[in-house]
Amino acid sequence: MQSQHHVQNPGSDRAQAARLLLQANLAYGESNSNGLNHIQRLRARQECRDYLADAFQLEPENAGALGLLGRIELDEGHLDEAHHLFSASLQAQPGQAQQHANLGYWALKSERPALAEQHFLEALDCDRQSAAAFCGVAHAKRLQGQFDAAYLHYRKLLETGANWDSIYSGMLSCAQ
């Protein structure tokens, strides 16, 4: 009698993990939506965590999932865990502009603007079009007291079509 073994298709697991990561990103976006009340945002954040947990079951070293979980941890003020997850994401998949930018925002929250600027510049080395990284450089320069350079960065972002509250508040801080 021949025994039959179910061999799971690793490509199928990766595809399912990718779908779960897409769902997690959508839920994360909802969790940051100003159009939802606090309870709805908390539910969306938990939904995001649930999708990520399922993705990790299929692909434990998924770089995108590690980075998104790091972003959640950063948002919740768990700086050490966020740093660990962003670093693990970069180790799993080097050269991700998003994770270098996330490390920049981690450094800003850790009150280390010079280190933040280095991370944002690494992100720009990976993706010259990263508005988040370019804005991060402006924030880092402002926090280092380089108000003229920061203001020019903010103005350039406005010229490229970025219309974010953080740009206007950064410009105002520089002008003061």
Counting residues of the chain whose pLDDT is more than 90, the rounded percentage is 89
In a domain, 44, yes or no: yes
Whether residue 11 is predicted with pLDDT greater than 80 in this model: the reply is no
Segment 141-155 shows an average pLDDT of 96
Q: What pLDDT, in 10s, does the model give residues 53-100?
A: 999 999 999 999 999 999 999 999 999 999 999 999 999 999 999 999
pTM: predicted TM-score of the whole model, two decimal places: 0.88
Does a structural domain hold residue 132? no
Residue range of the domain that includes 47: 11-94
Q: How confident is the model at residue 134 (pLDDT cuts 50, 70, 90)?
A: very high
CATH number, domain at 37?
1.25.40
> Do the domain assignments include residue 105?
no
* Inside any domain, residue 37: yes
Could you tell me if residue 110 is inside a domain? no
pLDDT greater than 50 at residue 114: yes
Residue 88 domain flag = yes
Give the orientation angle of helix 79-92 with respect to helix 97-109, to 10 degrees.
160
**Residue 169 is assigned to a structural domain of this protein:** no
Residue 151 has pLDDT above 80, yes or no: yes
Query: Taking 50 as the threshold, does the pLDDT of residue 133 lie above it?
Result: yes
DSSP assignment of the chain, as one string?
---------HHHHHHHHHHHHHHHHHHHHHHT-TTS-HHHHHHHHHHHHHHHHHHHHH-TT-HHHHHHHHHHHHHTT-HHHHHHHHHHHHHHSTT-HHHHHHHHHHHHHTT-HHHHHHHHHHHHHH-TT-HHHHHHHHHHHHHTT-HHHHHHHHHHHHHTT---HHHHHHHHHHH-
What domain count does the chain have?
1
Residue 57 lies in a domain: yes
- What is the predicted pLDDT for the residue at 82? 98
